[in-house]
Amino acid sequence: MPARDTGRGRDEGEQGQALAGFGRYAGPATLILSSLAGGTKHGYALTKDIESFAGVRIAPGTLYEALARLESQGLIEAVESDDRRRPYRLTAGGAGALKAHLDAQRRVADVGLRRLAGNWGTA
């Protein structure tokens, strides 16, 4: 299901800063948003997907605290469900924040790899 705009539009500068306020939760937030970019998922499905693409297991407490923060910022939203599971989906604001964050991380990785290649002969 495509992401919906929640009406909490963010300009490009705000999108780039959206994950900056997460501090130690920026890593889990990035993993969760990346997982939800692939489609709607509930908690257990998120942990399994993240484990498969990142090789990281997020503890339940960390997962649900990050989900609450992401939802409160309008980056994700809960989807109605007929069972006890609570699925989430990425919002348009969440997609923009994730893209801005990943672009910034790519720039950092590119600099690091260039410097390693130039000074250490590895890339």
Spell out the per-residue pLDDT of the chain, length 123, in tens. Answer: 444 433 444 444 455 556 666 565 579 999 999 999 999 999 999 999 999 999 999 999 999 999 999 999 999 999 999 888 999 999 999 999 999 999 999 999 999 999 999 998 875
Count of other CB atoms within 10 angstroms of residue 81: 11
- Torsion, CA 34, CA 36, CA 42, CA 43, rounded to 10: 20
Distance separating alpha carbons of residues 90 and 74, to the nearest angstrom:
9
The whole-model pTM stands at: 0.79
Distance separating alpha carbons of residues 23 and 37, to the nearest angstrom:
21
